[in-house]
Structure 1
Amino acid sequence: MFNKRIEESSGNRLALVVKNNPSSVLTEQFRTIQTNIRFSMVNKRLQTMVVTSATPSSGKSTISANLAATFASKNKRVLLVDADLRKPTVHKTFNVRNNDGLTTLLTDDDTKVVDVIYHTHTEGLYILTSGIIPPNPAELLASDRMLEIQEEMKTYFDLIIFDSPPVLPVTDSQVLAAETDGVIFVIPKGRVKTDEVLKAKELLEMTQANILGAIMNRVETSGDHYYYYYGDKE
């Protein structure tokens, strides 16, 4: 169905730890995060999710990719979408071209989702790169066409994860958060101020976003880095 396929040797081995080191502490933490997300949506269907942060350089893109790989399985189809139309990274993580992608779908009504999606070598995991960086990212993400694309994606995938820009610099994530089932907030320990986190949370809540919880990353223990998941929204 999806014509593009990533070769087995492609991809950033360091970034996709759950695939390349399945027995690591990091991988186990991602499994815990997956379980907690499922419990937080026990009475609701979670089909679209945004991963964002308050400020840049928080590690959200690495977390997005690993979450997507963790949720993917033989019985689940997961699509990781690079919705950061300003500083995209998914194509770098998976070592693919970024000639076309989400912006292609947003600007060309004749292009279909199946035309631009890559099937990765991880079972059940698919990716959609950002495509060419546009001059008006927020406007494109807020368009009716974006809603149409999401509906088309839902016909093929059980879960769609949007890797989106940080909240404070631009409005893109607020736009996406208002149109999706849940939001995961990434907080890098020691690299973001408390008032920045609270301000970003306030901006998301203004859009009626369903904040599922937060992941604190870059927490060190026994010489390793791992992630805590906080399911409490408050």
Structure 2
Amino acid sequence: MPDAQLITLTDPRTPAAEAYRALRTNLTFYSLDKPLHCLLFTSPVPGEGKSTVLANLAVTLAQGGNRTIIVDSDLRKPSQHEIWHLDNQRGLTTMLVEVTALANPAVQATAVPNLSVLSSGPLPPNPADVLGSRRMDEVIAALKEHADYVLFDAPPTLAVTDAALLSAKMDGVILVLRAGSSQRDHAARAKEQLDRVKAPLIGTVLTNARYDAPVGSYYSR
């Protein structure tokens, strides 16, 4: 059974699932002039839904025929292996420390065609140094050889420096906010921190937003 967070699989006819398909469309048109192969998802603080947004967008990209890899680059509190019910003994950190792993990425297939996951792997003592290393550049290049889209789940921007360090290596960065709980000053500070490292911030995603009743009645037919 798909995880309850994967609304694009458990209830694909809902407005929430359609919103993810709309996000896929927006990204597709955004990248007509500048291809977006590597996207990083972060949030100002924990609990704003970045991992869920990434997982559901990945489903829609894969369903659209795109080879898609989810990379759990949150090397402090990884969650993608839990969302997808996968083993986490090998993953991103495996590729970072094993020389031969670049040629054979430790990705795991999912039940969704075209979609695979590179879990975090064993957690290192120095996540920021690892993610900012030259070796990480090599890992990103290797993953791009195997996919049309590589989506990176990064830690919250204001909590640690990991997302800022990794964002400079991306084609685009998406900041996830949660309606009713995200604070305006947190969002502003997160943007400032990303701007400081010249991160390619392409937009935001708002989770937990209410939709109009007429929209809901349309999708319930």
Aligned counterpart for 2:29 among listed residues 7, 20, 39: 39
Counterpart position of 1:164: 154
Question: What one-letter code is carried by the residue in structure 1 that aligns with 2:208?
Answer: R
Q: Which runs of 4+ in 1 moved over 4 A?
A: none
Change (3 A) 1:99 1:195: same
Asked if the contact 2:41/2:174 (under 8 Å) is kept, the reply is yes
> Is it true that 1:57 corresponds to 2:47 in the alignment?
yes
2:41 is the counterpart of 1:29: no
SS at the partner of 1:18?
helix
Structure 2 length as normaliser, TM-score?
A: 0.92
SS in 2 for 1:147: helix
Q: Is the 8 A contact 1:50 1:162 kept in 2?
A: yes
Structural RMSD (CA): 1.6
Corresponding position: 1:185 with 2:190 = no
**Deviation of 1:129 (Å):** 0.3
Pick which of 33-42 and 20-29 moved more: 33-42
Q: Kindly report which structure 2 residues correspond to 1:10-21, keeping only aligned pairs within 5 A, or say none.
A: 11-12=2-3, 14-21=4-11
Residues in 2 aligned to 1:143 and 1:128: alpha-carbon distance in whole angstroms? 18
In structure 2, C-alpha distance between the alignment counterparts of 1:185 and 1:220, rounded to whole Å: 19
Compute the displacement of 1:115 (Å).
Answer: 4.6
Query: Unmatched 5+ residue regions in structure 2?
Result: 217-221
Deviation (angstroms), 1:144: 0.8
Q: Distance in 2 between matches of 1:68 and 1:213?
A: 17
d(CA) in 1 for partners of 2:197, 2:12: 37
The Cα of 1:219 is off from its aligned counterpart by 1.3
5+ residue gaps in structure 1? 1-8, 227-234
Q: How does 1:120-131 map to 2 (within 5 A)?
A: 120-131=110-121
Aligned match for 2:123, one of 133, 149, 155:
133
How many residue pairs are counted as aligned between the two chains?
Answer: 214
Task: State the distance in 2 between where 1:74 and 1:211 align.
Answer: 24
Shift in alpha-carbon separation, 1:75–1:219, aligned structure 2, 3 A: closer
Matched with 1:72 is: 62
In structure 1, what is the Cα distance between the partners aligned to 2:141 and 2:63? 22
Deviation for aligned residue 1:110:
2.5
Q: Percent identity?
A: 36
Higher helix share: 2
1:144 to 127, 134, 146: 134
- CA distance in structure 2 between the aligned counterparts of 1:50 and 1:221, rounded to whole angstroms: 26
Structure 2: distance between partners of 1:209 and 1:112: 25
Give the deviation of 1:49 after TM superposition.
0.2
Per-residue CA deviation, residues 23-69 of structure 1 (Å, 9 max, x unaligned), is: 11111000111111222222111100001100001111000100111
Paired residues of 2:105 and 2:143 also in contact (CA < 8 A): no
**CA contact 2:95–2:105 (8 Å) conserved in 1:** no
Q: Is the 8 A contact 1:81 1:129 kept in 2?
A: yes
Alignment equivalent of 2:38, drawn from 48, 54, 59: 48
